[in-house]
Amino acid sequence: MKHFGWSVWVLVAWVALSVFGQIISIDSTGIEVKHILNGPSWQSWFGYDDLGRSVFNRLLSGSYTSCVVSLTVITISVSVGTIIGTISGYLGGFVDTVIVRIIDIFLAFPGILLAIALAGIMGSGVDNVVIALSIVGWVGFARLARAQTLSIKHREHVLAAEAMGTRRRMIIVRHLIPLISTPIMVEATFGVASVIIAEAGLSFLGLGVQAPDASWGSMIRDGTRYMLIAPHLVLIPGVVLMSVVLSVNLAGDRLRDWMDVKTRFDGNKAN
Amino acid sequence: MRTLFVLSILIAVSACSHPESTSIRFGLANAPISLDPRFATDATSSRINRLLYQRLVDFDDRLRPVPSMATMVRLSDTHYRFHLKKSGRLFDNGSRLTARDVMATYQYVMDRKNASPHRGSLASIKRMEVISDDEIDFFLSRTDSLFPGYLTIGILPKEVIDNNISLDRQSLGSGPFRFVDWPGSGNLVIERRSDKQRVEFIPVKDATVRVLKLLRGEIDLLQNDLPVELVSYLKKKNKFRISGRPGSNFTYLGLNMREPLLQDTNVRKAIAYAIDRKTIIKYLLGSYTRVANAILTPGHWAGYKGGTPYSYKPGTARSLLERAGYNKENPLILEYKTSSDPLRIRIATIIQKQLKEVGIEVRLRSFDWATVYGDIKEGRFQLYSLSWVGIKNPDIFRYVFHSQSIPPRGANRGAYNSLVVDRLIEEADQAENDRQSSILYQEIQKIVLDELPYIPLWYEGQVLITAKSIEDYRLMPDGNYDGLLDVRKQKP
C-alpha cells in the first residue's frame, strides 16, 4: 500500500463511499425548495443544487454510478478483448486477419464518438452506456493481448505443450493468458480512468444516467447553467472527478512500476 | 508580412469592439424563424413582425380589438368596412399601401394551397371587396362577434405576393421599423423610421451566456427567458436597470380526459389541490408571476373575475383521492410529459414531489420539444404542461375546449367534451355585444374551472434588464417588443 502512495487511499475512499452510500440508502433525490442553489455552509458542506437536493448525497450517488459503470465496462472489455486478442495472435492465419481488420475498423473511428453514436441509437440509460462503452473498450485490450501473444507464442513452454498434444484452449488459458496478464492489468487501470471520463461525458450530453438519478457528468452539466450564481455545482463534482481519475492514473503508473520486476529489483537495490 | 499582421490584429480588435456600438443590442433566447407574417408562428418572429409591418386591427390594454392602421364600421352582422388611415402608408419599396394590398395579403392567407398556419382563424370570411384605394369591405359567412380581432396579420405589398418573393429572411413592410440586414450567420438588424435608431437582435440560447454578454456590454437589453436566480444575481451587481410587470402568458397542466384514471373529477381536483403554486412561484418564477385560474387574465375584457378555488390543500387532495378509491396500497400512478427545457424540468420535478406527498406517483418523461409536442397533439399523454403565449381573443375557448376542436381541427388535446360548454361557445360567437359575450365567457371559464380539463397554474411575469444607457423601454403584458418604438440609447 505504501508503495502506491495517496492515490490508492483516494480510490479506496471512492469505492467505500460508493458502497456506503448504497448501504445506508442516502436520499439523493429529496427536494427542499427552500434550499435551492444554497452554497456550502456549516450545515451542508457541499451545498444544494437547483432543486434543493444535497450535493453531497448526489455526489455519493454519482460515485456509485461511476464505480459500477467503470468496473463493469472494464471487466467486460478486459475479458472479451483478452480472449479475442489471444485467440487471434495464437491462431494466426485467416482468423487473425479478420480480427485485425475488425480491430482496425474500430480504431479508425474515435472511440468516444462511436460510444456517443451507439448510446444515441440505443437510447439513454446506464445499461446502454455500459454496452456502448464496452463495445468501444474491448478493442484496446484485444490489440494489446494479440501483440503480447505474438511475442510469447514461440517460447519453449508453449512449444513443449503443443508437442505434448495439449489442446489449444488449454494452451491459451494456462500458458498464454497468465503471462500476458501483467500489461493487461496495467492497461485496465488506465481504462478505468477513461471509462469514468467517458461515462461523465455521455451523462453530460444527456445520454447517460437519467434524472432524477445522479452521475458526476450530469451534475456538472446541470451545474453549468448556474456557473455565475452557484459555482459549487460544477466545482465540487469537477474536483472529485479529477481526483479520482488522477488517482486511478497514478495508481496505474505505480502498478506498472511495481509489476515490472526489473524496475522493482533495481529500485530495491538502489535503496 | 508585418503590415498584414498589424492589419489582421486591427480587424480582430474592431470585430471585438461591440461595446461602443450605437445600435441597441437586444438579447434573444431564440432567433426569429421567419419575417413573413403570413407564415410566422413562433413568438420571436411574431413580435419582430409587429415592428416591421402594419395591421388593420390591434388590441387595447383590456385586449379589446381597436383600429390600428384602419378605422372600422360595422355595416351589418356580416359586413364590415375598413377605412385606411391617411399617413404612414409607405412600403420599403416606395409604393403606397392600398386596399388592394390588404386584399392580396388576406386572399393569400385564406388560399388553402398556400397552407398558411393563420388560415383557420379567418374561416368566417366569405369574401372581400376593394371599394377604393383607402377602403375595403369584409363579408362574413356567419355572425362572429370576435371577427375584427382576427385581422392582425401584417400587410404585404401586392406586388411582392404576386411575384412570389420570399420574405423569410427579409421584409418589405410599412411598419415603424424597416429591415436593414440579416446575413446568413449574423444578426437581424432593423431601423426605426422616425430617427434611424438601429436595433440588432442577438440570439444567445444559453441564459448564462446571455447574462455574461450583458455584463461585458455586448448586449444592452434582455427581456424574459432568464432564471429568477440570474435576475437576483444581476440585481446585486447594481449595474443595470431591472424592472418587471405581471404577464399574460398562461401556463397550465393539461389532462387527458380519454384516460380512465383521469375521468373522475375527484382525481382532477385532488391534483389541483396538491400543487403548491405559490411556493413554485416564489422559488422558481419570481415575484411578477401570478397564480392563474383561467386562460385569460382577470384584466382581459372577457377574463375570469372570480376567486381562486384551488389553493394548496394537501389534506383535501388526500381525501378526494380516497373518495376516488386510491390509497397507500393502491396508489394513483400517472405519467407526466414535459419538454427538455431545464426550467420546465425543474418545475415538473417539484410538481412530481408535491403530488407524491398526497399519494400520487408521477413518472416524469422529458423529451425534446418536437417529440413532446407531437405526443401531446396526438393525445399520447396523461399529464403535460405547456403555456399559451400571446392569447388575446376569446376564440381560444372554441380552439381549446369545444368538442369539435380535437386535433387536427383544433387544440382540444385532452378530448374534453361538454355539451354545456359547446353551447355556450356557440352562443358567445353569436352574441350581440361585448357585455353579453363577456357574461357567456365568464360562464364557460367557471365550468372549465370546476371540471378541470386544464389545471391552471400561473401567468408568467415579465422581467426587463437594461444597461444604464437604455431609456424609455416599456414592458408589454404579452412580452412583445413594442417597447422598441420609444426606446433611446444614451451616447457613451
How far is Cα B373 from Cα B258, in angstroms, rounded to an integer? 18
All residues at 6 or more sequence positions from B183 whose CB lies less than 8 Å from its CB, including other chains: none
In the numeric block, which cell numbers belong to residue A142?
A: 484485444
Q: Is the minimum CB–CB distance between A212 and chain B shorter than 8 Å?
A: yes
Comparing A39-43, A148-152, B119-123, B190-194, the range with the smallest average pLDDT is: B119-123
Query: Is the ipTM beyond the 0.85 threshold?
Result: no
Please give the C-alpha separations between residue A14 and each of A19, A64, A65, B62, in angstroms, as whole numbers.
9, 8, 11, 61
Of B182, B181, B190, which is closest to residue B47 (Cα–Cα)?
B190
Distance separating the N- and C-terminal Cα atoms of chain A: 18
**Strands B198-203 and B24-28: what pairing?**
parallel
Task: Kindly state the average pLDDT of the residues A139-161.
Answer: 92
In the numeric block, which cell numbers belong to residue B467?
A: 444597461
How far is Cα B488 from Cα B295, in angstroms, rounded to an integer? 34
Task: Kindly state the average pLDDT of the residues B25-51.
Answer: 92
Residue A271 has pLDDT above 50, yes or no: no
- Residue B161: in which H helix or E strand, if any? helix B158-162
Nearest chain A CA: its distance from B283 CA (Å): 7
Residue with cell 397507500: B328
- The CATH superfamily holding the domain B247-460 is Dipeptide-binding Protein; Domain 3 (3.10.105.10)
Cβ contacts of B353 on chain A, cutoff 8 Å: 31
Provide the pLDDT confidence category of residue A267 given band limits of 50, 70 and 90. low
Of B71, B93, B100, B74, which is closest to residue B84 (Cα–Cα)?
B71
* Residue-wise pLDDT tens digits, B73-120: 999 989 999 999 988 889 998 899 999 999 999 999 999 899 888 888
Provide the pLDDT confidence category of residue B317 given band limits of 50, 70 and 90. very high
In the numeric block, which cell numbers belong to residue A61?
A: 450517488
Which amino acid makes up residue A206? G
Share of chain B above pLDDT 90, in %: 70
Per-residue model confidence (pLDDT) at position A2: 57
Q: Which CATH architecture has domain B43-162?
A: Alpha-Beta Complex (3.90)
| Arithmetic mean of pLDDT over chain B | 90
In the numeric block, which cell numbers belong to residue B447?
A: 365550468
Provide the pLDDT confidence category of residue B4 given band limits of 50, 70 and 90. very low
Nearest to B233 among A31, A206, A228 (CB): A228
> CATH: 3.40.640.10, 3.40.190.10, 3.10.450.50, 3.30.300.10. Which one for B2-34+173-245+461-489?
3.40.190.10
Q: What is the chain A residue with the closest CA to B279? A: A33
All residues at 6 or more sequence positions from A229 whose CB lies less than 8 Å from its CB, including other chains: A37, B229, B230, B232, B233
Task: Kindly state the average pLDDT of the residues A206-232.
Answer: 86
Nearest to A31 among B230, B345, B349 (CB): B349
Preceding amide of A183 cis, omega within 30: no
Domain A55-260: assigned CATH number: 1.10.3720.10
Three-class SS state of A232: helix
Per-residue model confidence (pLDDT) at position A264: 63
Q: Inter-chain contact A225–B349, Cβ cutoff 8 Å?
A: no
* Residue-wise pLDDT tens digits, B336-358: 999 888 889 899 999 999 999 99
Residue B42 has pLDDT above 70, yes or no: yes
Q: Inter-chain contact A34–B208, Cβ cutoff 8 Å?
A: no
| Arithmetic mean of pLDDT over chain A | 87
Please give the C-alpha separations between residue B172 and each of A192, B36, B61, B96, B193, in angstroms, as whole numbers.
61, 9, 28, 12, 13
Cβ contacts of A31 on chain B, cutoff 8 Å: 349-350, 353
Provide the pLDDT confidence category of residue B269 given band limits of 50, 70 and 90. very high
Per-residue model confidence (pLDDT) at position A247: 92
Residue A63, Cβ neighbours under 10 Å: how many? 27
Residue B10 has pLDDT above 50, yes or no: no
Q: Inter-chain contact A225–B279, Cβ cutoff 8 Å?
A: no
Cβ contacts of B232 on chain A, cutoff 8 Å: 229
Residue B58 has pLDDT above 80, yes or no: yes
Pair B402, B418: CB distance under 8 Å: no
Nearest chain A CA: its distance from B207 CA (Å): 8
Residue B19 has pLDDT above 70, yes or no: no
If one compares A253 and B162, the residue with the highest pLDDT of the two is B162
Per-residue model confidence (pLDDT) at position B154: 95
Which of the residues A225, A227, A233 would you substitute to probe the B interface, choosing the one with the greatest number of B C-beta atoms within 10 Å? A225
* Residue-wise pLDDT tens digits, B170-180: 999 999 999 99
Nearest to B353 among A31, A225, A228 (CB): A31
How far is Cα B44 from Cα A113, in angstroms, rounded to an integer? 35
Of B392, B325, B336, B408, which is closest to residue B365 (Cα–Cα)?
B336
Q: Is the minimum CB–CB distance between A51 and chain B shorter than 8 Å?
A: yes
B342 burial type by CB count under 10 A (0-12 exposed, 13-18 middle, 19+ buried): middle
Q: Which of residues 152-171 of A touch B (CB under 8 A)?
A: none
Which of the residues B205, B240, B353, B366 would you substitute to probe the A interface, choosing the one with the greatest number of A C-beta atoms within 10 Å? B353
Of B42, B384, B72, B50, which is closest to residue B190 (Cα–Cα)?
B50
Residue B411 has pLDDT above 70, yes or no: yes
Q: Inter-chain contact A51–B283, Cβ cutoff 8 Å?
A: no
Q: Inter-chain contact A225–B206, Cβ cutoff 8 Å?
A: yes
Nearest chain B CA: its distance from A25 CA (Å): 19
Per-residue model confidence (pLDDT) at position B2: 46
Size of the A and B interface in Cβ pairs below 8 Å:
46
Q: Inter-chain contact B342–A37, Cβ cutoff 8 Å?
A: no
In the numeric block, which cell numbers belong to residue A222?
A: 446541470
How far is Cα B454 from Cα B264, in angstroms, rounded to an integer? 14
* Residue-wise pLDDT tens digits, A67-125: 999 999 999 999 999 999 999 999 988 999 999 999 999 888 888 888 888 887 887 78
Q: Alpha helix (H) ranges present in B165-264? A: 207-216, 228-237
If one compares A262 and B389, the residue with the highest pLDDT of the two is B389
Cβ contacts of A37 on chain B, cutoff 8 Å: 229
Which of the residues A226, A232, A234 would you substitute to probe the B interface, choosing the one with the greatest number of B C-beta atoms within 10 Å? A226
Per-residue model confidence (pLDDT) at position A1: 54
Three-class SS state of B70: strand
Q: Rounded to two decimals, what is the model's pTM?
A: 0.81
Q: Inter-chain contact A37–B229, Cβ cutoff 8 Å?
A: yes
Three-class SS state of A177: helix
DSSP state of B303: -
Per-residue model confidence (pLDDT) at position A127: 87
Cβ contacts of B278 on chain A, cutoff 8 Å: none
Q: What is the chain B residue with the closest CA to A222? A: B342
Nearest to B208 among A51, A206, A227 (CB): A227
Of B366, B371, B382, B391, which is closest to residue B441 (Cα–Cα)?
B391
Cβ contacts of B366 on chain A, cutoff 8 Å: 211
Residue A188 has pLDDT above 50, yes or no: yes
Q: Inter-chain contact B279–A212, Cβ cutoff 8 Å?
A: no
Task: Kindly state the average pLDDT of the residues B69-74.
Answer: 91
Residue ranges covered by each domain of chain B: 2-34+173-245+461-489, 43-162, 247-460
Distance separating the N- and C-terminal Cα atoms of chain B: 36
Task: Kindly state the average pLDDT of the residues B279-288.
Answer: 93
Nearest chain A CA: its distance from B208 CA (Å): 6
Of B59, B109, B56, B58, which is closest to residue B83 (Cα–Cα)?
B56
Nearest to B279 among A33, A227, A228 (CB): A33
Residue ranges covered by each domain of chain A: 55-260
Nearest chain B CA: its distance from A29 CA (Å): 10
B196 burial type by CB count under 10 A (0-12 exposed, 13-18 middle, 19+ buried): exposed
